[in-house]
Structure 1
Amino acid sequence: MRSSRRRPLLVPVLLCAAAVLAARPTAADSESGDAPAPDSGLSTQVARLYEDAAAATRRYEEGRHAAEAQLGEVRRLEALLGRERREIGALRDDLGRIARAQYRSGGGLPIAAQMVLAGSPDELMRGQHVFARASLAVDNAIGRSRRAEAKLAADEARATEAWRAVELRRGELAALKKGIEDKLEQARRQLQGQADVSVAAGSCRGAVRLDQPRLHFTRAWVAPVETYTLSAGFGSGGDRWVNRHTGQDFAVPIGTPVRAAGAGRVVRVSCGGAFGIQVVLRHADGYYTQYAHLAAVTVDQGDGVSPGQWIGQSGTSGNSTGPHLHFEVRVTPELGSSVDPVPWLAERGAPVG
């Protein structure tokens, strides 16, 4: 009798328990970053500022080359000014020689006085001829000197203006470049701040879907970042590692786009622990690649990726002493199965160094 009364209550109890279990997040859900996607504004801003900084750098370099060309023109003008100054000095010497020659030819008397004292019409005519020739020589010399001095003044003004234009252009380009770099640095700090919050909570904020660059790779494998400095290498020792370093570190600023080294599928997106924010990819040849210490991710678990596709933005989350990408190649998705990534990439046509 008791069992017949209790049986109707068993069904709703089981249904409630099933509903509770279904609503609880699993460990896989927490690790794979199934939390709601974050506001992508900051990551997008960082990516855009990277593009702006690259464009500003290109303009700066173009402007620098233009400034160098202007400097060449300035130097040409300065050389011209030097020649003109020497020519003016020579003209003044000519005037002095003409004056001295007139004095000597007149026996110490001015030409006008010789004409007044002329004893015959022929002597007077000769005096007039000498006077006219001397006057023409003096006038020509004075005219050349004045024209040369006027040209010198004009060229000096041109040189001064050219220098002013060079300095102004340099200042404008430097200010433009610094303004963008300052904005980028501020956005980087904010992006890393978001990453630190996620790591402290042990919960990923979700993928940020950035506009992907147009992929133009002809190779199946690429370096995980485009511009970098290699830092800690595979197998190196240090206080931060229990045994040896298990990957290759690429020193890059926070927010640098991190690329998939090859085609594959995302098998893990996790936050927290020594690696901070990390992504693990599985590739068709059975190898796995890991990208750690990120500031943000742009993929979700299960996504397929192409060589060179952006999968995250670099940072300094987790056990990290500075901004860098920790890159590993593994034979399993787990820590402890890594191989040296530098020769591994080189064998696949993507040397780094």
Structure 2
Amino acid sequence: MRLPRRRPLLVAVPLCALAVLAARPADGEGDGPHAPGHGPEAGISAQVARLYEEAAAATRKYEEGRRQADRQRTEVRRLEQLLDRERREAEALRDDLGRIARSQYRSGGGLPLTAHMILADDPEKVMRGQRALWKASLTLDTAIERNARAEARLALNEAKADKAWKALEKRNKELTELRSGIERKLETARWQLQGQADVSVAAGSCRGAARLEQSETAFTKSWVTPVETYVLSASYGSGGALWASRHTGQDFAVPIGTPVRSVGAGKVVKVSCGGAFGIEVVVEHAGGYYTQYAHLAAVAVDQGERVSPGQWIGQSGTSGNSTGPHLHFEVRVTPEMGSAVDPVQWLAQRGLPL
């Protein structure tokens, strides 16, 4: 059995947040065109979009606060190293002064300078010694003064850094709590969306297309993966109790509400709700291939609509015969099941190794 391969979930919560959109039921049933959603669900959509923006902003502020804290901590350590060096230099100077003082005492340094000059055989030598001692004392005094200024400066900087660090920690804690609160609201919204999907599947009637406010994207390639970030789960051809024979697609484990993208340019030939696949979309591409996106929580396109590579066509969910949130992705040579080919190889041939 092939182990699941992973891709990093970089922006799972904010991305899912943007995608938790829903729409009112359409008047028609089956696989026909759907009217864009509006009504009470539009308010939920606006709330989710706002929560997404708040979560993204909180995340950016949180990360910037962490970076500022790291820079501040680095500066404090630099100052501490500087102080340690200056303290060692001052201690060395004090040792030198002690040696000079002891030497002077043993040679009669306790006598007044005049007595030294009278008793000495070489008064000039005494004067040179005194000048040397004076210079040494002056050097030490200067070093001690410089060290005192450095200690005062460091103490001030440490106090500032400590205050800044505590402020950053407080802000980061507040941002973490804010982000957690947003995520809890998003989780609730996602399951509300799934609840609406389950109602549609049970009724066999799709809701109207929930038009997602997708940001401008400039895909330079003709083909993209059906979801941006994911964990691969059940693979094509694998066996299991959920399938009559073998698994006919590739599953992408993603949270409910994750935007699902058309892998390439094409035309939506089927939007259906009900049955084992739950809510599904089928897109026809050039070359006689069709891609299916199943177990959705909502659709964002209408049957007959033209789509471009990377365009959001729905939100992932766990509708139909599904044991957990994921996207079931198939590649077929006809619009209907039973004509599937290996989607992993098909994507790899188009420059998209999973």
How does the TM-score come out when normalised to structure 2?
Answer: 0.77
Single out whichever of 301-310 and 234-243 deviates more from structure 2: 234-243
SS in 1 for 2:142: helix
Single out whichever of 324-333 and 222-231 deviates more from structure 2: 324-333
Q: 2:348 aligns with which of 346, 349, 353?
A: 346
Partner in structure 1 of residue 103 of structure 2: 101
Question: Cα distance, 1:105 vs. partner?
Answer: 2.6
Question: Cα distance, 1:96 vs. partner?
Answer: 1.4
Question: Cα distance, 1:197 vs. partner?
Answer: 3.3
* CA deviation string 1:10-61 (max 9, x = no partner): xxxxxxxxxxxxxxxx997334474772523334544554465456555555
Cα distance in 1, alignment partners of residues 162 and 240 from structure 2:
53
Cα distance in 2, alignment partners of residues 206 and 85 from structure 1:
75
Cα distance in 2, alignment partners of residues 227 and 148 from structure 1:
56
Single out whichever of 149-158 and 165-174 deviates more from structure 2: 165-174
Cα distance in 2, alignment partners of residues 306 and 199 from structure 1:
28
SS in 1 for 2:29: helix
Partner in structure 1 of residue 153 of structure 2: 154
Structure scoring higher RCO (CA < 8 A, sep ≥ 6) equals: 2
Alignment of 1:33-182 (within 5 A): 34=34, 37-38=37-38, 39-47=41-49, 49-50=51-52, 53-54=55-56, 56-57=58-59, 60-61=62-63, 64-106=66-108, 110-112=110-112, 115=114, 119=118, 131=130, 134-159=133-158, 161-162=160-161, 164-166=163-165, 168-169=167-168, 172-173=171-172, 175-176=174-175, 179-180=178-179, 182=181
Is the 2:36–2:211 Cα contact (8 Å) retained in structure 1? no
Cα distance in 1, alignment partners of residues 49 and 349 from structure 2:
31
Partner in structure 2 of residue 192 of structure 1: 191
Cα distance in 1, alignment partners of residues 346 and 220 from structure 2:
18
Question: Cα distance, 1:116 vs. partner?
Answer: 5.4
Cα distance in 2, alignment partners of residues 85 and 233 from structure 1:
66
Cα distance in 2, alignment partners of residues 196 and 160 from structure 1:
54
Cα distance in 2, alignment partners of residues 242 and 165 from structure 1:
62
Is the 2:271–2:302 Cα contact (8 Å) retained in structure 1? yes
Cα distance in 2, alignment partners of residues 177 and 119 from structure 1:
81
SS in 2 for 1:212: coil
Q: 1:281 aligns with which of 283, 287, 303?
A: 283
Larger Rg: 1
Is the 1:115–1:127 Cα contact (8 Å) retained in structure 2? no
Partner in structure 1 of residue 299 of structure 2: 297
Cα distance in 1, alignment partners of residues 169 and 311 from structure 2:
36
Question: Cα distance, 1:209 vs. partner?
Answer: 1.2
Question: Cα distance, 1:62 vs. partner?
Answer: 5.2
Single out whichever of 220-229 and 136-145 deviates more from structure 2: 136-145
Single out whichever of 190-199 and 227-236 deviates more from structure 2: 190-199
The aligned amino acid for 2:171 is: E
Partner in structure 2 of residue 5 of structure 1: none
Is the 2:295–2:316 Cα contact (8 Å) retained in structure 1? yes
Single out whichever of 340-349 and 185-194 deviates more from structure 2: 185-194
Question: Cα distance, 1:208 vs. partner?
Answer: 1.1
Change (3 A) 1:265 1:49: farther
Question: Cα distance, 1:130 vs. partner?
Answer: 5.3
Partner in structure 1 of residue 29 of structure 2: 29
Cα distance in 2, alignment partners of residues 171 and 237 from structure 1:
51
Partner in structure 1 of residue 266 of structure 2: 264
Question: Cα distance, 1:161 vs. partner?
Answer: 3.4
Is the 2:289–2:331 Cα contact (8 Å) retained in structure 1? yes
Cα distance in 2, alignment partners of residues 345 and 74 from structure 1:
52
Residue 329, structure 1, aligned to residue 331, structure 2: yes
Change (3 A) 1:40 1:235: farther
Cα distance in 2, alignment partners of residues 342 and 121 from structure 1:
101
Which runs of 5 or more residues in structure 2 are unaligned?
Answer: 1-25
Cα distance in 2, alignment partners of residues 271 and 192 from structure 1:
18
The aligned amino acid for 1:172 is: R
How does the TM-score come out when normalised to structure 1?
Answer: 0.77
Single out whichever of 179-188 and 31-40 deviates more from structure 2: 31-40
Cα distance in 2, alignment partners of residues 150 and 217 from structure 1:
59
Partner in structure 2 of residue 228 of structure 1: 230
SS in 2 for 1:74: helix
Question: Cα distance, 1:223 vs. partner?
Answer: 0.4
| Percent identity over paired residues | 55
Single out whichever of 326-335 and 64-73 deviates more from structure 2: 64-73
Cα distance in 2, alignment partners of residues 239 and 343 from structure 1:
24
